[in-house]
Amino acid sequence: MIQASLERHISINEFWYILLELQTEMFSGTIELNDTIGTNWKIYFYLGRLVYATGGKHPVRRWIRHVKASLPQISLREDNLWKKQKEFKICWEYELLSNWHLEGKIKREQVIGIINGLIKEVFGDLHRMKISKPKIKQEENSFSHKWLSTSLEQYINQSREEWRKWQEKGIADLDPEKRPIIRRVEELASSMPSQDYQKMVQLFNSQLTLRELSVKIKKPVIDLTISLLPYLRSGIMEMVEVEDWPVPESKNIKIQTQTKAQLLPLVACIDDSFGTRQPLDQLVEKAGCKFVGIQDPIKAIPFLVDKRPALILLDTKISATNSYRLCEVMRKMSVFKTTPMIIFIEEDSLISRVRAKMAGATECLVKPVRQEIMIKTLLKYVMLQGG
């Protein structure tokens, strides 16, 4: 069985040879292949010329990233951009770009630039995969418009050169389609200045892959990966899988945007003092999280049950109820069994700390809390909750 499984797969060089053979045969149609984890890839030819390539873990995220980078003037949230998306039967990514060109929304060179970037990235990713022998389907009626520029040989050579760089730098095992997360918060915080630590955590809280982070900070993905290598090798950070986004269309563009926003950790603060809530709001935003301040502690529990925050902050000075009692009640509820809760105390006394511990608080902090301590503590529990 093991031998049979191995025979179904081919090397990347064997695959390149198959494509070059199809080029000489003036092939028109689709080459479809899968890797060992079931990821699907499709490569399109027209009269022996490579036209488009898609698939992999994140075809939608990849397409949106390249389109946004090349067309900053276009808002992808506009419904009228997606009206004909469902009409395209072969490959919506390619046909939609062609349609935008026909409607005068983008220029020819912009279409070609986006397609070149997408093909180059797909070819680069294929070096990381154990791929199966491709299924070749001949189709005379392919795309209605052909955007032909870079040759097949150039794409292959570019992908080989890029892969060689990843191997030489010792990072070939790191997938830029994964996202970095912090596993050991304390070690990371102590290894760099507080300001740099805040920026890093804010970036990582954005749920972006390495490739998406590289675009955001305008740094080549290979350089970004190298900069994180010491933390990844030591176990302070880890690379984890992320899901692709849904195929964008008129009815779900806004839903997709909301879904991304909902991924940000929520920090809730129960305190009837605006002077306490406002600076906390600013600190939480710096950490790349969402903040909600709750003024009325009586209404806090139903609200928190509905929102399920990643971290709850309570002040001992809240009126109308006892913060220790409120913490104790929430801790006994199954929905808050593992939620970190921090109580702000007025003085650092053994009695206050014991009361907080008995109430189920994860930790207590003495007021006034210095900004660097608050951020470090806040991010520690938010990151542990999200990781």
For residue range 298-321, what is the model confidence (pLDDT) as tens digits?
Answer: 778 888 888 889 899 988 776 656
Q: Residue 354 sits in which domain range?
A: 264-386
Reading the block at residue 192, the tokens are 């760099």
146 and 190 part of one domain: no
**What average pLDDT does this structure show over 365-385?**
74
Reading the block at residue 224, the tokens are 């970004």
Between 384 and 16, the higher pLDDT residue? 16
Domain boundary among 168, 198, 231: 168
Block residue for tokens 């279409």: 111
69 and 201 part of one domain: no
Of 98, 126, 109, 97, give the one whose Cα is nearest residue 34: 126
Residue 254 included in any domain: no
pTM metric for this prediction:
0.70
Mean pLDDT of the chain: 83
217-253 pLDDT per residue, tens: 999 999 999 999 999 999 999 999 999 988 876 444 4
**What average pLDDT does this structure show over 115-137?**
94
Residue 123 included in any domain: yes
**What average pLDDT does this structure show over 122-133?**
93
Between 162 and 4, the higher pLDDT residue? 162
Reading the block at residue 361, the tokens are 């608080």
Residue 174 included in any domain: no
Residue 74 near residue 106, CB atoms below 8 Å: yes
Sign, CA dihedral 169-175-178-182, equals: negative
pLDDT at 154: 95
CATH for 287: 3.40.50.2300
7 and 40 part of one domain: yes
296 and 194 part of one domain: no
148 and 296 part of one domain: no
Residue 204 included in any domain: yes
Of 208, 206, 204, give the one whose Cα is nearest residue 261: 206
Reading the block at residue 70, the tokens are 């090349």
- Name the strand (E) or helix (H) holding 15: helix 12-24
Residue 257 included in any domain: no
Q: Roughly how many angstroms between the first and final C-alpha of the chain, as a whole number?
A: 37
Residue 122 included in any domain: yes
